[in-house]
Amino acid sequence: MKAGMYYGIKDVRLEDLPKPAAGKNDVVIKVVSAGICGTDVHAYLHNGDPVGIHSGNQFGHEFVGQVVECGENVKDISAGMRVTINPTARIPLGRGLNSTEIADMSGAFSEYVLVEEAKMGWNVFQLPDSLPFEKAVLTEPLSVSTHGVNCAGLSGGEKALVYGAGTIGLCAIAALQNKGVSQIIVSDINDGRLAMAKELGAIPFNSKNGSLPDFVKAQFGTVKGNSDEDCIDAGVVIDCAGVGSVISEFMDNAKTLSKLIVIAVHGANVELSPYWLLAKEVSLIGSRGYTPADIQDAIAALARPGCRLPAIITARYPHGDFVKAMAKAAEPSSIKVAVDYE
Ligand SMILES: [Zn+2]
C-alpha cells in the first residue's frame, strides 16, 4: 500500500509498505478521506517528537473509511461498514507508546489502517448513511471541541465566547450549536478565520481592533456580579487560543457561576486571582481529547441538516499529491486540508 511517512521538518513521503492484516480481534479499514491536523503541521514545520510523530513512521489521525477485513472474534463490525475510529484507542496501551503517539501515528495518510481489539462504540464508530465521507472526515477535530463543550454541562440557552478561530475554535461553534447555543462570539486576530467563524453563524471580533470585553458587553449585555461589578453575560467561555491573557481576562470579566473551558495548549504558566475565583464562583475546566460519547455527539452534529462546519475544509488533494497537501496545510491561510483516496 502507499503510506504517508514522516521523516522530519518538511520531509514527508509516500512510500510502499505492506498492507496490514487483521488478527482475530482486529479490523482493517481502507481509508477514504483524511484530514491534516495542526499536530501534523507542527511536526512538518517544527518537530514531530513532542507531538508523538517520530521519524520513519506513518502519521495522520483524522480519517474515515470502509472496513475491508474483520477478525473472526470481532462483533458488530462487518466488511463494507462506513466508519471512523478513536485514534487514541487504535491499539491497546502497554506497548511502549503513549496515547498521543498511538493516535498521532495512526496512519491516516496510508491506504489501510489496522485497528486492534476492535470494538464498535469504543475504537470504531459507524457513520450514518446520510453523512458523506467528505464531511465525516471532520469527526475527530469536532470531537475535541465537543468534549470541551460537554465538559461545560450546558443547558442550551447560554451565550458563549470562544477565543481562537482555528480549526478547534471553529469546531467549537458547531459543537455549541449542536447543544442549542446559538449566540456565540469568536475572537481572533486573523480576519480570514473570523470570516469563516461568521459563515458558521458566530459573531466575529478581531481583538486587534479594541477591547473584547467591551465588545461582548455591547453584544450580550452586562450582568452584576456579587461585588456589584459589571460582568460579561456569557455562561461559557472556551479557550481555543492558548494565550495567557485569556485566563486573566476571564477572571476579570466573567459572571457568577460561568465556566472557562481550556482546550488550547498553553506553553507558559499564568497568574490568576483566587479572590475572583471565590467571589464569582467560576469554574476553570480542562478538556483533553474525547470520550466515545463525544465522538458519537460529533458524528450526530455533522449529520445534522444545516451543519455548516464542512466549509472549513479550504483545500482537498488526491492521495497521490499527499506531499503537496502537507505543504498546503502549512500555509497560514489554510484552515483544514483534506486528502481524498481514489
Ligand atoms: Zn487532529
For residues 71 and 14, state if they share a domain. Answer: yes
In a domain, 133, yes or no: no
Confidence (pLDDT) at 156: 85
CA–CA separation, 12 vs 7, rounded Å? 6
Domain count of the fold of the chain? 2
Determine which helix (DSSP H) or strand (DSSP E) holds 187, and give its type and residue range: strand 183-188
Task: Give φ, ψ of 198 to 5 degrees.
Answer: -65, -40
* Å from CA of 87 to ligand 1 middle: 10
Q: In this structure, are 75 and 170 located in the same domain?
A: no
Residue 317 · residue 327 · CB < 8 Å = no
Residue 61: is it exposed, middle or buried by C-beta count within 10 angstroms (0-12/13-18/19+)?
A: buried
Q: Output the pTM of the full model.
A: 0.96
Q: How many whole angstroms from 39 Cα to the centroid of ligand 1?
A: 6
DSSP state of 304: S
261 bridge partner residues = 238, 285
Q: Is 173 in the same domain as 251? A: yes
Residue 249 has pLDDT above 90, yes or no: yes
* Bridge pairing between strands 62-70 and 57-58: unpaired
342 has a pLDDT exceeding 90: no
- Nine-digit cell at 167? 480549526
Same structural domain for residues 151 and 118?
A: no
Closest CA to 65 of 96, 110, 98: 110
Same domain for 61 and 13, yes or no, is: yes
In this structure, are 106 and 25 located in the same domain?
yes
Count the Cβ atoms, other than its own, within 10 Å of residue 76.
Answer: 11
Tell me: do 256 and 334 sit in the same domain: no
Q: What CATH number did the domain enclosing 180 receive?
A: 3.40.50.720
At 62, which CATH number?
A: 3.90.180.10
Q: Are residues 34 and 75 in the same domain?
A: yes
Q: Are residues 236 and 262 in the same domain?
A: yes
253-271 per-position pLDDT tens digit: 999 999 999 999 999 999 9
168 CA distance to ligand 1 middle (Å)? 9
| pLDDT tens digits, 163-214 | 999 999 999 999 999 999 999 999 999 999 999 999 999 999 999 999 999 9
Tell me, in angstroms, the distance from the centre of ligand 1 to residue 61's CA: 6
| 217, part of any domain | yes
Least Cα distance to 238 among 197, 199, 209, 210 occurs for 197
User: Which domain, by its residues, includes 257?
Assistant: 142-286
72 within domain boundaries: yes
Element of type H or E holding 177: helix 167-178
Residues 198 and 97 in one domain: no
Q: Does some domain include residue 120?
A: yes
| DSSP annotation string for 31-72 | EEEEEE-HHHHHHHHT-SGGGT--TTEE---EEEEEEEEE-T
CA dist 35 and 106 (Å) reads 12
Q: Is 247 helix (H, G, I), strand (E, B) or coil?
A: helix
Residues 23-73 have pLDDT tens digits of 999 999 999 999 999 999 999 999 999 999 999 999 999 999 999 999 999
Whether 321 is covered by a domain: the verdict is yes
Task: State the distance from the centre of ligand 1 to the C-alpha of 148, rounded, in angstroms.
Answer: 14
What is the per-residue pLDDT across 98-141, written as a single tens digit (0 to 9) for each? 999 999 999 999 999 999 999 999 999 999 999 999 999 999 99
Catalytic residues: 39, 42
